[in-house]
Structure 1
Amino acid sequence: MKQIGNYCEQFKAEESKLSPERIALLKCAAKAISVEVTDAHTPVKLMFICTHNSRRSQLAQAWAFVFSEYYFPNVFEVYSGGTEVTACHPNTLKSLQNIGFDVQARETSTVNAKHLLKFQNSSLSLYSKLYHTSEHPSTHFIAFMTCAQASKNCPVVFGAKHRFNFNFEDPKRFDDTPSAIIEYEKTALEIGRELHFLFNLVKHQTRTN
């Protein structure tokens, strides 16, 4: 993602778009994350959870991966998962590509295809999976619920040290409409704006340069 610095400046300039309620939530999450970073509990593990692990949780994981590598190389591990397995939606992948992410097909022989997101010298595999799959941490992680349905269906995320209801509107409602990709990009940028606020706040709280 060549323009990561530009996005950081853009999102910083757009912080006034964040509501007081979201700022309070992000500050609470940043405080919890900062404690983990400061106490050297590395890697600090973040899990983004949505019902189908198809849209919002994938977008959140992508931004968290990029910002963590940009601000805190080798400190974070970021994951995403769902309460059901579906697939990373094509509109999710297209919107990520359109806003500058380096997303490449890795495996396309199955419905739940795997795609590779590359940033600097690191990479992330994007595909749908359960949040409690064996490849994910089972303890000492921070959970972010990215949809209200997952928040309701998972009143307890076992193993999570902290849990935050980080809900966003589902761009799914625009599928099969002419404005689908534009609306997915809006959602992606909204998530990016909030996650930049989060990671930038953690950076200042931990005095990491």
Structure 2
Amino acid sequence: MTSAAPHPLTLLQALAHEVRWQIVTELAQSDRRVGELMAVVGRPQNFVSYHLKQLRQAGLVRERRSIADGRDVYYTLDLLALREQLSVTGAHLHPALMPTWEPPTLDLRSPLPRPIHVLFLCTHNSARSQIAEALLRYATHGAIEVFSAGTHPTTLHPLAVTALAEFGVADAGLFAKPLAQLVPLTFEYVITVCDRAREECPPFAASTQVIHWSLPDPLEAEPLNQAPFTATAQELNTRIRFFLSRIAHDWVP
């Protein structure tokens, strides 16, 4: 049995407040903790928490406790849910307002104005960052220079390799490496996919956009089997598809 479609007013009511709009705009760029959102909107914690609750109830924002510090909670904008509600709202107003946009499988085989370098960073460089590296390289046919590293690297986990194979992506060239090995490079985007790695992330060049995606570590799942690795790959694949829209907007002529 499928769930009922959201009422068209749900989205409008959720976004019809300056603070909630500021929160959504910030979360569209990166996952954030409540303290970071307080700094953005310039309001106290109870005020920000109230509006986060409204966004959660509208199905637009998800929360997840940090694996780096259990006292912290990361908030994530559910872009797929937002897209669905935009579609419902537009369709109720007029058929011409029904969106036709899809998160792209972006083909960047045509030359870019300049090389784009993306780094995915996690703690062990054994699963999340490796999966993200392979998925983004596959989606862009190698046109973007993609790297991954760990703050405390170990080895590439075989269940991560299996998760990639489920997406038809090979693991050729993937291996765990320390961040120090990549320090000489300059990145346009650094994406931390681990809360612990975010806490240990060193400063990068001022021109680098640092983004955080708060993802659970599949290696810490119980029981340890293929399911959490596959779920991680699915979450990363969705986020990467939306991330490609940002790259297309910023870089593709």
Shorter-normalised TM range: 0.5 to 0.7
1:137, distance to aligned residue in structure 2 (A): 4.7
What is the CA–CA distance in structure 2 between the aligned matches of 1:62 and 1:83, rounded to whole Å?
A: 19
Classify 1:90/1:198 alpha carbon distance in 2 versus 1 (closer, same or farther; 3 Å).
same
Aligned to 1:106: none
For normalisation by structure 1, the TM-score amounts to 0.62
Greater RCO, 1 or 2 (C-alpha within 8 Å, sep 6+): 1
> CA deviation digits over 1:63-118, x for unaligned, max 9?
1111222xxx63x10000011221011110111112322x2xxxxxxxxxxx51xx
Aligned to 2:165: 97
Percent of residue pairs identical: 25
Instruction: Kindly provide the amino acid, as one letter, of the partner of residue 131 in structure 1.
Output: L
Aligned to 1:83: 151
What is the CA–CA distance in structure 1 between the aligned matches of 2:148 and 2:202, rounded to whole Å?
A: 17
1:200, distance to aligned residue in structure 2 (A): 3.0
Instruction: Kindly provide the amino acid, as one letter, of the partner of residue 25 in structure 1.
Output: S
Counterpart check, 1:130 vs 2:202? no
Aligned to 2:130: 58
What is the CA–CA distance in structure 1 between the aligned matches of 2:205 and 2:151, rounded to whole Å?
A: 13
Aligned to 2:28: 23
Aligned to 2:229: 184
CA contact (8 A) 1:82 1:130 kept: yes
Note the residue ranges of structure 2 that are not aligned, 5 or more in a row.
1-23, 32-76, 78-110
> CA deviation digits over 1:120-148, x for unaligned, max 9?
xxxxx1110012205x6522442111100
Classify 1:170/1:156 alpha carbon distance in 2 versus 1 (closer, same or farther; 3 Å).
same
* Structure number, greater radius of gyration: 2
What is the CA–CA distance in structure 2 between the aligned matches of 1:93 and 1:22, rounded to whole Å?
A: 30
What is the CA–CA distance in structure 1 between the aligned matches of 2:206 and 2:125, rounded to whole Å?
A: 19
What is the CA–CA distance in structure 2 between the aligned matches of 1:159 and 1:129, rounded to whole Å?
A: 24
What is the CA–CA distance in structure 1 between the aligned matches of 2:147 and 2:241, rounded to whole Å?
A: 17
Higher strand share: 1
For normalisation by structure 2, the TM-score amounts to 0.52
Instruction: Kindly provide the amino acid, as one letter, of the partner of residue 229 in structure 2.
Output: Y
